[in-house]
Each structure stands twice: as C-alpha cells, then as structure tokens.
Structure 1
Amino acid sequence: MTDLPDLPPLREVINAHGLFASKALGQNFLFDEQLLGRIAAIPGRLRDTNVLEVGPGPGGLTRAALRAGARVTAIEMDKRCMAPLGDLAAAFPGQLTVIEGDATKVPADSLFPGEPYAILANLPYNVGTQLFTGWMGGEAWPPRWSSLTLMFQLEVAERIVAAPGSDAYGRLAVLAQWRATPKIALKVHRSAFTPPPKVMSAMVHVVPGEMPEGVSARVLERVTEAAFGQRRKMLRQSLKGMPGALAALEALEIDPARRAETLSVAEFVAIARILTAA
C-alpha cells in the first residue's frame, strides 16, 4: 500500500489522550511497531481482507493491520479508547469500523454477513480463553473465520498446542486440535508490554481443518469434560457416569485403566463418534 499516513508514536497517542492500561479490563499495551508489524504478518496477506480485532485499546495492532491493507472491524468496550481509534479511522478512510461493546456478546459472523474474515487480536487476558472456546466450538464447521491469530499468556498458549502425555494437555488441547491446526507463531517477552504482565505471552495461530465425520462437537465436549474433570483418575472412574462411554472404550480396545492425559486427540474423537451414533 502506498502513501501510508504519517502517524504519531503510540506512546504519544496514549499520553495525548490520558490513557493508561486498565487492570480491570485485562489490558496490556504494545508500543513496539516493529513487533506489531510482525504480529500482523502472521496470518499472511491481509490486503483487502476482513479482519476482526478484539480489544484494540489505543490501536497499536490495529494500525499494523491497516497498514497491511486490511479492512478492520474492531470491538472495544473501553470508552477511553474511542477517541484514538476514531483518529485512526480518519487516517485510514473506509478501512476501520469501531464497535463499542463487549466482544463476548457480539456474534462475530454477524459482523461480516456472507463474507470470510480473519481474527487478529491481542486478547484481553481476562476473556481470552472464553472467546477462543466460543470461536472453536459449535457444530457448524468449517467456521466462517479463515484463521485465528491471538495473543495469550504463554501458559494458555502451551495448553492449546500441548501433546498427549504432557502436563499442559487437556480439554483445551483437544478442542483446539480435533478439527484445526494450532501453533505457537511467536513468543512475546513480558517486557514488550506496558505495563509488563507477570507472565510471558505468545501468539497462537489457528487454521481450521476437516471436520471428522460422524462426531458431534457437544458430545466430544462432554467426553473431555468428564475425562479431564478428574484427570488423575482412571477412565473407568472418570467416564463411568456417561452412558455408553465404558462400552466405547471396550469397543476401541482402550484400556480403562488409562488416564485422560494419555489419550490422543484421535482416541477422544473415536469415543465421541461411537457415543454420537448411540
């Protein structure tokens, strides 16, 4: 894109508007524009692409996406950020739509009727997992979003990409991996944020894959909820309250003495397939 607007440094923007990161809103601002450009490059080419951003704050990642040519719809619940986002919309005419509201209550698909979109966000820590599970859940697949590129606490990111047998492996890993491919695309040091959080962070990039046939997402959720709800117990104990689950283990020749964290994603899918057909 040529003739990009000359924007003031982000620190000057927040100082001019008297902004500071709100702990109650889970805010941690990124000011390093080189880093923000690297994050915006993770999803690939953004020119003329619809992008949903949640929690843009003063607009650091927003301006990186706009510079890449994206058409951004940003949802922000902090009224203080409306003015700097408005300035950004004026600098990139026709590229930025700002919605004041709670992203957990706005169906993402409704913002892009009949069109695909990518989700790109430095998610507020206090709602990140809730939003992620919402975007990854449901029976309709493939989703309308083409990819998710999201900032999480490193611990959460590691849970999303965890392999069976690891301490981080659990329900979140199965949800993320049974019909999509997640990866940690970039680790971000705590010192990159203002104020610095107490933990490291990471960008997770997720691309939707094929939906396994004959499997209900809700049934799989119930199986993993039961199995990992008592993860230190053997499957014969944790799944005994789910009708048909122990018979499914027997049919699949899965040892009921195993624990949930030893089962592969494919084994959970196989159990859910039997229970879906029952």
Structure 2
Amino acid sequence: MRVTRSTTARLSLLMAMTSVVCLGQFLPSDAGNYAAKVVTLTGQVSVMKDFQPWALSVGDSIQVTQRVVTGADGHALLQVTDGSTVEVYPNSTFVFRQNPGNWRDLIDVFLGRVRVHIEHLGTTPNPNRVLTPVAVISVRGTTFDVTVNDDDESTTVEVEDGTVEVRHALLSGNAAVLNAGSVYRVYRDEPIAQGINKGNAARQALRIVVNVIAIVGRTSGPGRISLPGGGGTGSVGDTGGKTPPPAAPPPPPPPPSSLPLLQH
C-alpha cells in the first residue's frame, strides 16, 4: 500500500486532534476553578510574585503554581473548590499545584508544616498527592499533617483520620500505608522501612510513661497512694493486705488515795 504525502498529513492532523480531545478530558476548561481561597489568616502570610512577597488577606485567591510563604507568626487556612483544605503553619513554604499537567498534585511542601484535609466526594474517590523533597503522600479522603525539616533531610507524616500511602521520592522500594493515629518519618538516604512504625512505638512508650505518672499522682493522703488492685491504701509498694498491729494497752489505773487515820 502506497502512502501519499496527503495521507500522511491527514493522519498527523487526526492524531493531533485526538491528542487535544484526550487532553481536554483531563485538564479543566477553567484553571481558575482549581485556585485556593484564603479562609482565615493571622500574622505574615505572603504569595510570591516576580520574586517579591505580596501579603495575602482573607478572601484572596492563590493561583496555580504560586508559592506561599509564612513568617514566624503566620498561619492560614486555604480551601479549594471541592471543600478540601490546607492549613499552613509558621515558617513554612509550599507551592500550590506546581504541576498543572496533573491536577491531583495538590501542593509541594518545601519547608515547615501543613495540615491537609481531603474532602470525600460522596462514594467517589478523591485522589490527591502531597509532595516533599523526600516523600510522596497519596490520599483519597483523610486528614493528616506533613512536616519538612529545614535541612530537607526528612519528612514526618502524621495521620489523624483515614489512610495515606507514603512512598520515597528519591529511592525505589515499597510504600508504607498509614492508618489513623500513625506517625511515619521518611529520611532522605533511607528506603521506606518495613515492619514496626518507629513513630508509633515512641508514642506508645510515651503513653505508658504518662499513664504511670498519672497513677502515681493519684494520692489519697500525704505519702500514700492508691494502687490498682491493691485492695486499699498504704505506703508506696504496700498492697494493703497486711493485718494492722494490735492497739496499745490502756494505761494502768492511778494508785488508791491515802485513807485518814482514826483518832481514838
């Protein structure tokens, strides 16, 4: 079969049109719908424009690829159109939707701490990703904290509700799936660890210490405490099961008084 130049041109045009149609299925017609609005704000919170910080106010919009910076007293709550929120804490820096080609990449955190709440879309998953210098956090509807150290050497992920998947951004290997209450720290030069969660172990140990202190602190009198299962109160280490010593005997009666002599 002979392919003419006109046929080749038609095929090229058809492929280009197909690409545009497919691209239109994944990219929004209005990128403004993917902006974030400032809901609450205190302290110094700025967006970078032409390498200069511009102070934000409540009601302002943060556009795609804009960098947000907070000062030592800066704190803000941002909301996107699907109801999901990003809470940013002092001394933090992130870029909102740095990759316009993938609208699921919500923010890139470079420094500091953010709390992300991904709103459920009914029964439909709402996949989003949060990226840091060393970690990629994938979520579908949850609340979690991300903290990036100022040396870029580690990222800490703490899950409050739901489930997140954490992968290393620089090293290959398995992912860590974190459920509510889990804490995980990703290090730049270490693959994702398997097995026990170091953050959870530390938390559990801390809870044990706090519980012991609380028990010891429940006093029932000076120098005495209530011990669980002790059956009473006593000195420290006393189980309360010993028989108390008998009471001291009463003092002897006073001597009889002298009788007067009879006179004859």
TM norm. shorter chain > 0.5: no
Greater fraction helix: 1
Q: TM-score range by the shorter chain?
A: under 0.3
More relative contact order, 1 or 2 (CA 8 Å, 6+ apart): 1
- Structure with more strand by fraction: 2
Give the structure with higher Rg (CA).
2
